[in-house]
Amino acid sequence: MATSSTFSRGPFARETLLQEVSAAHPLSWGILLIILGFLAIVFPSVTSLSITLILGAILALSGVIQLVHAIQRRHHKGLRSRLVLSIATLAAGALILSNPFVATVSLAYILVGFMMASAILKMTFAFEMGKTKGRNWLIFSALLSLILGLVMLSLMPMAAFILPALFYGVDMIFFGFALTALNASHASPAKPRTAL
């Protein structure tokens, strides 16, 4: 016997509750992307340099962890390849941390490639969705990624500290709007047809 009001609504009430909870995630991610996009635009050079330093720290820490793991498992097969991989990862992180300005310029070029790939994947996703409400936001976001990537490429390397954060911030904002629009289209239940 179910005493909860959730279960007293019928056998499918639990499924409906799960659908409501899971529907909030795209909305949450959309809002988070919009906020992060605005922060990236407000603090562009801090954002670019911070991303570079975070990446360097993650790589260095990952290299140390891999090295410790390889040494602990030195009697297992593949020790040499694990040692080489851990040292290469640690070295990449150390290089980024030792010269974050050069690394920021390099990452800006990588970001250009990412924005181009992102544009292609967003457009593919939009066309796979068919005529869904909110799809136009996704198409707009894809075109914006492409345009921003091309503009950034034409102004490199002098604008590596400001443009990546600005453009990626704008891209995150519009992708956030696309996710919230898609969430709104899926959250509103279809109205049942009535016979005339």
Q: What is the pLDDT of residue 8?
A: 46
Is residue 5 assigned to a domain? no
- Four-point Cα dihedral 128, 132, 135, 136, nearest 10: 130
How far apart (Å, rounded) are the C-alpha atoms in residues 119 and 121? 6
Tens-binned pLDDT, residue by residue, of the chain (196 aa): 444 444 445 444 445 544 554 455 667 788 888 898 888 888 888 888 888 899 899 999 999 998 998 888 888 877 888 889 899 999 999 999 999 989 988 888 888 888 889 899 888 888 887 777 777 888 888 898 899 889 888 888 877 888 778 877 888 888 888 878 777 666 555 555 555 5
Structural contact between residues 44 and 161, judged by C-beta atoms closer than 8 angstroms:
yes
Is residue 194 assigned to a domain? no
Is residue 76 assigned to a domain? yes
Residue 168's identity, in one-letter code, is Y
Residues 6+ apart with CB under 8 A from 118: 142, 145, 171
Burial class (CB in 10 A: 0-12, 13-18, 19+), 68: exposed
The parent domain of residue 159 ranges over 26-185
Is residue 15 assigned to a domain? no
Residue 157: asked if its preceding bond is cis (omega within 30°), the reply is yes
Is residue 90 assigned to a domain? yes
Is residue 101 assigned to a domain? yes
Q: How far is CA 192 from the centre of its chain?
A: 36
How far apart (Å, rounded) are the C-alpha atoms in residues 153 and 196? 59
Q: What is the pLDDT of residue 155?
A: 85
Measured between alpha carbons, how far apart are the two ends of the chain, in Å? 40
Is residue 4 assigned to a domain? no
- Per the structure, the count of domains in the chain is 1
pTM of the complete model: 0.56
Is residue 129 assigned to a domain? yes
